[in-house]
Chain A
Amino acid sequence: MERIYLDHAATSPVHPEVVHAMIPYMTEVFGNPSSIHFFGRQSRRAVDEAREAIAKTIGAKTNEIIFTSGGTEADNLALIGVAMANRQKGRHIITTSVEHHAVLHTCHYLEKQGFEVTYLPVNEQGKISLTDLQKALRPDTILVSVMFGNNETGVLQPIEEIGMMLKEHPAYFHTDAVQAYGLIPIDVNKLHIDLLSVSAHKINGPKGVGFLYVRENVKLIPHLYGGEQERKRRAGTENVAGIIGLQKAVEIAQQTMREKVQLYRSFKERMLAIFEQEGIHYAVNGDMDDSLPHVLNVAFFGTNVEAMLVNLDLAGIAASSGSACTAGSVDPSHVLVAMFGKDSERIRSSIRFSFGLGNTAQQIEMAAYETVKIVKRLVRK
């Protein structure tokens, strides 16, 4: 049986060139970048070059990139770091109800620390309203955190408009771009973004590494204290090989962005065309026309998530019910609840397909037909 992996939003295969690029940094170039001798200097140079290459992809300065252990740490550092460093200025934070748990749970933590958090609602298309944001802004708002593209539905938020709005307000603007980076061109200056989170393993890099972009003038306290790495903003011996892997993944992502966007969009269309043609009862969750190209979230009415996932898995198709990061549980998706309310049938019958490296049109067709078969079987019962 051919296994078809359609869960790239949960994690993605490491690109062979990425592993290849990492190996020398686990063999010959193994020094600690803080060591002053040759081996240390070699590692230091590699990390510096990676930082420079990565900064360029979002129009940032080299010293505005902080390497972290992944997307979760980047989000935690952004939110807690800004909140704690600016709490004299205010204690109000605005985010959305559809953020990844790395943002949402960090906000819950900050609430316990005496901060006030506004969770903006979304409409049925999964989008926040700019009017809501405008209304929520207060003089004591210090941070607005709105994700770039949603990990469950792929829905894009109006990042450019939010950036424009916040130009007139002292609050910093953070965006979790873990799913968007590598598929959507991002220029932090054009979009007026102050902080931006990225994770390597979502873009065919290794797990355990990511970065946070932090605009030069942003006041931020570290989350991890210790040595003076990352210009004293993130202590800990640098994960040199991981950073090199991230750099390679970033380079490949930049080079292949355009073709991937086209390819994944065609996958989405093909899949939906097959669902349509086969006459199953389904609906796309979220604004299809303004979404990440690689994420497709579909409600299959009359089915339930668990049965769908088990049957898909048996058919060799790896998909998911939404966020993989709720540690193995199939809790109702907070994103779909925010869009449709907790009583909607969609909560119980939605599947996320997400595309990536290695997927072919043929695979997508096979997966679509298999899905149809399963849906028909389950609905009949």
Chain B
Amino acid sequence: MIYLDNSATTKVFPEALESFTAVATNYFGNPSSLHELGMQAERLLIQAREQIARLLHVKATEIIFTSGGTESNNMAIKGIAWQHRHRGRHIITTSIEHPSVAEACKQLEQLGFEVTYLPVDERGIVSVEDVEKAIREDTILVSIMHVNNEIGSIQPIEQIGATLKKYPKIFFHVDHVQGVTKVPLDFKKANIDLCTMSAHKFHGLKGAGILYVREGVKLSPLLAGGAQEMQLRSGTENVAGIVAMAKALRLAFEKYEKARQELNEMKRLLIAELSKIEGIQVNTPVDHSAPHIVNFSINGLKSEVFVHELEKQQIYVSTTSACSSRKKAPSKTLLAMGADQKRAESSIRISLSYENHRGQLSLIIEAIKHALKKLQEVAREM
């Protein structure tokens, strides 16, 4: 079995699972409770926050725990928009964001905000100049993902951040869900104000996430209630999930640091081999892309059937991004890159984890060739 859908979700580290069960079983207190059990839970929460802050080179008070990437993105975008709406109602983002950014922006459009969706080039990369050109007097937020979840292209976050330094009133949010632990990003250097991460993409548990909120940045909360998380995010904290997330983040940083070279090599070889196959168009750029994502199209053939063919050979990949893979729509990212309808409708994503290695390459390529041949045969018969 080779699982190649790590951008959809990852396998939990056994150590993270251990942390989860230990905390859920032995430290079940509510961190807001004043008694000993509550304080034990609070200490665990403080430790987890400090560990995560250290790993990200930020302050512990800048880490807000959420239920995942979607909530962090919604909170960052709507929280800034709502808090600063009197100063301006213009937001800049890209045309290749994850739906949790794109749809949050759409909601804001209905509420009277204006959103500029920047184009990307044929590699799936936004231009720094375009960002600057789009800035207006009433721009309050720029939200740009670090690593695209469909094709793996890396956006020039540091350069954009440097440009935005000239506009100190504009907030800069980065969706770092696919990038964290895989592609280094210096929050300070990149001048980032808000940054989204999700535990289940780095071998933590589903249902826990992070929003980095730089000290001094004001945003209105998304969830009102008990005023947990520095009054920014109400709801009893998912202590066990958060402790497991801290453990997973540390291990993921270690393991991906070690595996980066290997994954990059593997990505290059995959792209090289796939490019040789008749009927396959590679969508992921060799350079400026994350080490773990390779996206290709199968020339209008049914990508869903292709996934199932590969599955018969115990290789698990996905059509486009997991979140929209249940509807048969063309990939928005590929369309934005200038792909035609056929190409955009038939894309396949391979996403690797630290456990993958070049030794698996020939097996994967053979399986892909085999699946493709079967689909081509079926297509010819029709």
- Which of A's residues lie within 8 Å of B, judged by CB? 3, 5, 7, 10-14, 16, 19, 23, 26-27, 30-32, 34-40, 69-73, 75-76, 100-102, 105-106, 108-109, 199, 201, 206-209, 223-229, 235-242, 309, 312-313, 318-321, 323-328, 330
Once the chains are docked, how many angstroms separate the CA of A241 from the CA of B21? 12
Provide the residues of chain A in CB contact with B227, threshold 8 Å: 101, 105, 325-327
Once the chains are docked, how many angstroms separate the CA of A26 from the CA of B16? 10
Given contacts A36-B319, A208-B207, A228-B327, contact A19 B21 (CB under 8 A): yes
B68 & A236 in contact (Cβ 8 Å cutoff): yes
B326 & A208 in contact (Cβ 8 Å cutoff): no
Once the chains are docked, how many angstroms separate the CA of A209 from the CA of B205? 12
Provide the residues of chain A in CB contact with B9, threshold 8 Å: 30-32, 35, 237
The stretch from B49-57, B88-96, B218-226, B262-270 touching chain A is: B218-226
Once the chains are docked, how many angstroms separate the CA of A332 from the CA of B73? 35
A236 & B67 in contact (Cβ 8 Å cutoff): yes
B323 & A10 in contact (Cβ 8 Å cutoff): no
User: 7 other contacts beyond A32-B9, A69-B66, with CB at 8 A cut-off?
Assistant: A3-B36, A11-B30, A31-B8, A35-B325, A109-B224, A309-B35, A325-B228
**Can you name 25 A-B residue pairings with CB atoms under 8 Å?**
A7-B37, A7-B38, A23-B17, A32-B9, A34-B325, A35-B316, A69-B71, A70-B236, A76-B224, A101-B226, A105-B227, A108-B224, A208-B208, A226-B323, A235-B99, A236-B100, A237-B70, A237-B206, A309-B34, A318-B36, A320-B35, A324-B236, A325-B228, A327-B228, A328-B42
Of A16, A106, A224, A239, the residue contacting B25 (CB under 8 A) is A16
Chain A residue at minimum C-beta to C-beta distance from B5: A35
- Which of B's residues lie within 8 Å of A, judged by CB? 3, 5, 8-12, 17, 20-21, 24-25, 28-30, 32-38, 42, 66-71, 73-74, 98-101, 103-104, 106-107, 198, 200, 205-208, 222-228, 231, 234-241, 304, 307-308, 311, 316-319, 322-327
B67 & A320 in contact (Cβ 8 Å cutoff): no
Distance between B280 CB and nearest chain A CB, rounded to angstroms: 19
Once the chains are docked, how many angstroms separate the CA of A320 from the CA of B228? 17
B238 & A69 in contact (Cβ 8 Å cutoff): yes
Distance between B159 CB and nearest chain A CB, rounded to angstroms: 27
A318 & B37 in contact (Cβ 8 Å cutoff): yes
What's the dominant secondary structure at chain A's contact region? loop
B307 & A236 in contact (Cβ 8 Å cutoff): no
Provide the residues of chain B in CB contact with A228, threshold 8 Å: 99, 323-324, 326-327
Given contacts A14-B28, A242-B207, A324-B32, contact A224 B3 (CB under 8 A): no
Once the chains are docked, how many angstroms separate the CA of A7 from the CA of B40? 14
Given contacts A19-B24, A69-B238, contact A100 B70 (CB under 8 A): no
B236 & A201 in contact (Cβ 8 Å cutoff): yes
Once the chains are docked, how many angstroms separate the CA of A238 from the CA of B69? 11
B71 & A224 in contact (Cβ 8 Å cutoff): yes
A223 & B222 in contact (Cβ 8 Å cutoff): yes
Once the chains are docked, how many angstroms separate the CA of A157 from the CA of B279? 66
Of B3, B12, B68, B70, the residue contacting A27 (CB under 8 A) is B12
Provide the residues of chain B in CB contact with A19, threshold 8 Å: 21, 24-25
Distance between A13 CB and nearest chain B CB, rounded to angstroms: 5
B206 & A239 in contact (Cβ 8 Å cutoff): yes
Once the chains are docked, how many angstroms separate the CA of A323 from the CA of B326? 42
Distance between B256 CB and nearest chain A CB, rounded to angstroms: 18
Once the chains are docked, how many angstroms separate the CA of A325 from the CA of B234? 9
Distance between B358 CB and nearest chain A CB, rounded to angstroms: 23
Chain B residue at minimum C-beta to C-beta distance from A12: B28
Once the chains are docked, how many angstroms separate the CA of A16 from the CA of B24? 9
Provide the residues of chain B in CB contact with A313, threshold 8 Å: 34-36
Of B38, B106, B322, the residue contacting A225 (CB under 8 A) is B106
B28 & A238 in contact (Cβ 8 Å cutoff): no
Provide the residues of chain A in CB contact with B104, threshold 8 Å: 225-226
Provide the residues of chain A in CB contact with B28, threshold 8 Å: 11-14
Chain A residue at minimum C-beta to C-beta distance from B310: A37
